Amino acid sequence: MGVGAGLWLVASIAAACGGAPASAPPEAAAPAPAATPWFREQAAAAGLAFAHTNGASGRLFYPEILPPGVALFDADGDGDLDVFVPQGQPLAAAADARLAPAGARLYRNDLQVAADGTRMLRFTDITDGSGLAGPGYGLGVAAGDVDNDGRVDLYVTGFDGSRLYRNTGHGTFTDITAASGAGNPGGFAVSAAFVDIDRDGWLDLYVANNVSYRTSNATVCPGPAGAPDYCPPQIYGGLPDRLYRNLGRGRFRDVTTSALRGLTPRPGLGVSTADFDGDGWSDIVVANDGEPDFLWLNQRDGTLREGGLPAGLALTGEGKAEASMGVDAGDFDNDGDEDVIVTELTGQGTNLFVNDGTAHFRDVSAASGIGGRSLAHTGWGTAWFDYDNDGWLDVLAVNGTIIAQEGRRGRTFPYDQQKLLFRNLANGRFEDVTAAAGPAFALSESGRGAAFGDLDNDGDVDVVIGNNSGPMQLLVNDTGADRHWLGLRLTGRDGRDMLGARVAVERPGQPTLWRRARADGSYGSANDPRVHAGLGDSAVAPTVRVRWPDGAEESWPAVAIDTWTTLTQGTGR
Amino acid sequence: MSTTRLLVALMFIAAAGGSCGESARPGRGPVEVPPLPDLTKLAPSVQTQIRERFAAFTTRAAAGAPDAELSQAAGDVGLLLMAAQFPDAPAPFLTRAEALAPADYRWPYYRAHFHRQRGEPELARAAFERALARQPADVAALVWLGETLLQLGQTDDAKTHFAAALALQPASNSARFGLGRVALAAGDARAAAGHFEAVLARDATAAAVHYPLSQAYAALGDTAKADLHLRQRANHQILPADPLMVELETVLDSPQSYETRGIRALEAKDWTAAVTWFRRGLTLAPENAALHHRLGAALNMTGDRGAARQAFLEAVRLSPEQFLAFYSLGVLDQEDGRHADAIGRFTAAIAIRPTYVEARLRLASSLRRTARAADALAEYRRVLADEAGHAEARIGEAMTLAQLGRDRDAVTALERAHDAAPESVVFTHGLARLLVTAADARVRDGRRAKMLVDALVQQGRTLDLGETMAMTLAELGEFDRAVAVQRDLLTAAERAGLPAVVRRIAGNLARYEARRPCRTPWTEQEWP
């Protein structure tokens, strides 16, 4: 079927359903079925030869089910995204040292661009000498420039504390955990987020702690027939999250008690930051496992007040607290505010909350089609991303159960499931297009972290997936670059990525697209901090208006499309 | 090939040979017996149960038993596997059960729930529809089909089925709850509120209603009612009466199944039944420390504290990490006034589970009662470090500070809590009480307390708030009014049959009659 026939079919369906909203642009039509896969799995071919181990000994230690996250960030400042992934290790006291893996890995992106523009991804393991192969059981990772030196630093979350690594340039790092004061002592965190809470120009750090757990008092939870399995988090009890205020140059103070108003210990997993109420100050949403999710609303005085329940975001529309894992914020309906997606347990289904612009949310999971289609999956990493560059944010979720699957005798960790890809139909509904996305989507893995970014700088969003007890996956997007796109790196005067900056993409006769610079969201992972916006078939160079994290606004007319452009604060109008 | 499967294969061969190559079931061929999954991780009693039912099925299949008998035999295996929460294995057995007895309503009904649990709403929908084709007036199936359609976003169809269920059973709260959610999803907040209020009118404990009802009132612009219901929300389910699913819950012969049944009995306040179920579980797993703890809890509810203590002790003997049993032993000790022993038990519980807030609060209480107020204060503050808004810990902190003679610090703590949560009655009330009873005259502020109490009285009148009102009036020198209020409280407490409260109120009444204010913020019985 050609593109024209595809358009006609969609138009007919839309008419039968009452018609698409007036704001839906013509490029909202479904892409024609592709002769080639939309995504190709290229991890091994590109040199990302990482296999995760959770250290499982058969004693069902709870932390084993959580990792790994994965980070996409420019470690060496050469303009492309490198890859970091934390590693597990045996948790049993008498673990066989031979089982211990090689630790976390850092892969340098050696992207090759041929004269004809052909791009080939090549990664080189540069862990040795990088300073990143630190001790501990790694779970997730957050990325941000904590000392405003223009180099992206890493916060590696873990069981029994986390570690902060300062980027010293050229892919080398120094462990500054102790000096920074942000080590989350006694904590047990998967996800964290760097966010400038107080608009002082320094990235603060939110750490979502999970449960109070020690291997010495570990327990197993038999199912109804007596089969032992991992316990739910409520068996251990939640740990309070932590907020660290950046005092400047990478020194932090724990301001949890004074700054998080209404904090209760809950089993936190995913974190996403965005300005949900449109006041220009960053807020935080936290996915809690089996307990109400947090919505931390910025009070503009260095504190945040928890308001998930009255905002309609803490629970499902029915009032249930579900097992929230991954979370991300994005303007999926292109109405200018940040909506929220949260992945959940099998039988609960992914939840989609639509924002009314004032941080009041409505659960539209069922109506959107995402809720029903995801019920069979236990979701973890997820993000809003426009995989086909049609100007509407789509959703990918990586999945894996927490109940052992039958007939997986060959697997050390039989908890695998397939991924899900949902295409935004531009009318509030989503279509499950997993089957059309390529053979990589037919693979069943224990997906956990997922990081989203344009690894080959070709204008569409690729995905790197951290699989528990399995190989890392690299899904190279081969469909998005067929349409126009806008790529922006937003930097401060000091050269750092301006996480939290919001971008309005304005084109004559088209609805304004709102996107933001963020590295957080998903699950235990760090995303491309650059801003990507699909433009569909529109070749018009748009006006870009940036609302910086400090509240200032600037605009740039006729910004070039189909290429990556850096916009630095203070150089616009 | 396992022995069982080999046996089945041989049976088929024998059956086929015995009938000269013809099927045991003429015209339809032999019933294929699906394999069992790996059972080795299950409790031995459940393995036996499943293998026996499986053998019964294979024997009947080999013998060419009648379809109805075969259906039951296949279904029995399927139900056991479903109850054991195998994600895939039940399907072929339930499918055969349904195929062999097409008129039997149970098998498509169970298949529907099987698909619901697997997160397959389309398959669940089809199976519920097949069940309803066999038994159209089944309210449970109608409600569950409505729920499934709601998951799929098909609100019009869901409404049809909830309405049909309600027509058949006008008192069905599950059907009406469904209709309320359909209305809410359709944007008809007024109709939704009507349905939800009707549910609450029939069952005031239906806490699941409060959250969507809050949303309905918010949509209608009634923020007062929206807030009221939001505060009352709780985890709760409104389920249809569902005998088939109850049967499924009780089909397994496992310690965990008996534990579940015991917990259900506890929820139903049937303490004796709970004891019976937990003891049944312990016959299968005598070294299950958690079951011993549950048995102790049930025994305590029957009033047999001695047996309860023995059960808790057995739990900690079997598992020194059983922090819940240490906690329960501490509660018994505390209730018996043996605070030194209680302190040891709670300390042990916290050593195992440092975030066990209830144990820490109990520990603080016993510490304070053994003149270790400074240690108690440290425990309250440990709770507050993790959860600054924890009401009981904050009040405990303030009370302990007052006990230590640090009235100013106590007031400051309550003022901060009040500022952080101005809607909290507990903090406002505590602050008012302290402002009129503090030993430190520099802290007392009767006029400010009067304003706080007057505001609280607008929200509702309770005995202890009345006591604070009388304390306030006495502090302001209005002893006649204080006496009048206190006499009213005394009458109310006597009518309510609260002798300890009567003694406390009478004591202060005598004080006010002697024109002396109260200087005891909280008596022993008022401490948490």
Shortest Cα–Cα distance, B151 to chain A (Å):
5
Give the pLDDT mean for B254-259: 94
Q: Which residue has the higher pLDDT, A219 or A65?
A: A65
Cβ-defined contact of B356 to A227 (cutoff 8 Å) = no
Span B410-415, average pLDDT: 93
Are B215 and A312 an interchain contact pair (Cβ–Cβ within 8 Å)? yes
| CB–CB contact B41 A346 (8 Å) | no
Chain A residues in contact with B152 by the CB 8 A cut-off are: 366, 372
Long-range contacts at A402-409 (CB < 8 A, ≥ 24 apart): A402/A65, A402/A229, A402/A230, A402/A345, A402/A378, A403/A223, A403/A229, A403/A346, A403/B85, A403/B87, A404/A229, A405/B87, A405/B88, A406/B37, A406/B38, A406/B86, A406/B87, A406/B88, A406/B89, A407/B37, A407/B88
Q: Is the pLDDT of residue B355 over 90?
A: no
Shortest Cα distance, chain B CAs vs residue A543, angstroms = 37
Instruction: Please give the average per-residue pLDDT across B112-124, as a whole number.
Output: 96
pLDDT at residue B354 greater than cutoff 90: no
pLDDT of residue A19: 32
Q: Does A372 contact B152 at a Cβ distance shorter than 8 Å?
A: yes
Torsion on CA atoms A381, A384, A386, A387, rounded to nearest 10: 10
Q: How big is the A-B interface in CB pairs under 8 Å?
A: 142
In this complex, which of B86, B153, B255 lies closest to A369 when CB atoms are compared?
A: B153
The predicted structure's pLDDT at residue A293 = 98
Residue B287's pLDDT band, with cuts at 50, 70 and 90, is very high
Q: What average pLDDT does this structure show over A176-194? A: 97
Q: What is the pLDDT of residue B24?
A: 40
From the candidates B282, B386, B392, B416, which should be mutated to test the interface with A, based on the most A CB atoms within 10 A? B386
Q: What percent of chain B shows pLDDT beyond 90?
A: 83
The minimal CB distance from A403 to the residues B85, B150, B387 is found for: B85
Run of H or E including A257: helix A256-259
| Mean of pLDDT values over B58-69 | 95
Mean pLDDT: which of A225-239, B43-57, B387-401 is highest? B43-57
- Please name the member of B42, B151, B255 whose beta carbon is closest to the beta carbon of A372: B151
Q: What is the mean pLDDT of residues B62-81?
A: 96
Residue B482 has pLDDT above 60, yes or no: yes
- What pLDDT was estimated at residue B459? 82
Residue A335 has pLDDT above 80, yes or no: yes
A224 and B119 in contact by Cβ < 8 A? no
Give pLDDT, residue A93.
67
Average pLDDT, chain B: 91
With tokens 């600054």, the residue in question is B388
Question: Using CB atoms, which residue from B88, B185, B215 is nearest to A406?
Answer: B88
Query: Cα–Cα distances in Å, from A56 out to A18, A119, A229, B235?
Result: 53, 39, 12, 33
Question: pLDDT tens digits for A416-450?
Answer: 899 999 999 999 999 999 999 999 998 889 999 99
% of chain A surpassing 70 pLDDT: 91
Which of B41, B147, B162 to probe the A interface (max A CBs under 10 A)? Answer: B41
Alpha-carbon distance B129 to nearest alpha carbon in chain A (angstroms): 18
**Considering only alpha carbons, which residue of chain B is nearest residue A321?**
B235
> What's the whole-number mean pLDDT along residues A459-469?
96
Tokens of residue B139, six digits: 């309210």
Residue in B117, B153, B230 closest to A310 by CB: B230
How close does chain B come to A323, measured CA to CA in Å? 14
pLDDT at B11: 35
- Mark yes or no for CB contact B210/A319 under 8 Å: yes
Average pLDDT over residues B217-235: 93
Average pLDDT in chain A: 91
Residue of A nearest to B38 (CA): A406
Are the beta carbons of A261 and B420 separated by less than 8 Å? Answer: yes
The model's pLDDT over B514-525, given as tens digits with 9 standing for 90+, comes to: 999 999 988 877
Q: Can you say whether residue B450 is alpha, beta or left, with left for phi > 0 and alpha for psi between -120 and 50 degrees?
A: alpha
**pTM, full prediction:** 0.89
- Mutate one of B85, B154, B287 to test the A interface: name it (highest A CB count within 10 A): B85
Helical (H) or strand (E) element with B401: helix B391-403
pLDDT of residue A136: 83
The ipTM value here is 0.89
Express each pLDDT in A231-277 by its tens digit.
999 989 999 999 999 999 889 999 999 999 999 999 999 999 999 99
Q: What percent of chain A has pLDDT over 90?
A: 81
Mean pLDDT of B177-184: 97
pLDDT tens profile A37-48 = 899 999 999 999
Provide the pLDDT confidence category of residue B528 given band limits of 50, 70 and 90.
low
* pLDDT of res. A540: 95
pLDDT of residue A281: 98
What is the pLDDT, as a whole number, of residue A134? Answer: 73
The model's pLDDT over B421-449, given as tens digits with 9 standing for 90+, comes to 777 888 999 999 999 999 999 999 999 99
3-state SS of B185-252 is HCCCHHHHHHHHHHHHHHCCCCHHHHHHHHHHHHHCCCHHHHHHHHHCCCCCCCCCCCHHHHHHHCCC
Report, in angstroms and rounded to the nearest whole number, the Rg of chain B calculated over CA atoms.
Answer: 31
- Are residues A320 and B215, on separate chains, in Cβ contact within 8 Å? no
Q: How confident is the model at residue A478 (pLDDT cuts 50, 70, 90)?
A: very high
A318–B119: do the CB atoms touch at under 8 Å?
no
The Cα-based distances of B470 to A420, B410, B508 in angstroms read: 64, 21, 9
Lowest mean pLDDT among B19-23, B56-60, B103-107: B19-23
Contact B119 A376 (CB under 8 A): yes
Q: What is the pLDDT of residue A11?
A: 28
Asked whether A298 and A317 are in contact (CB, 8 A), the reply is no
In this predicted structure, the answer to whether residue A13 has a pLDDT above a threshold of 60 is no
Q: Under an 8 A CB cutoff, do B353 and A217 touch? A: yes
Question: Taking the C-alpha atoms of A366, A368, A372 and A376 in order, what is their torsion angle to the nearest 10 degrees?
Answer: -130
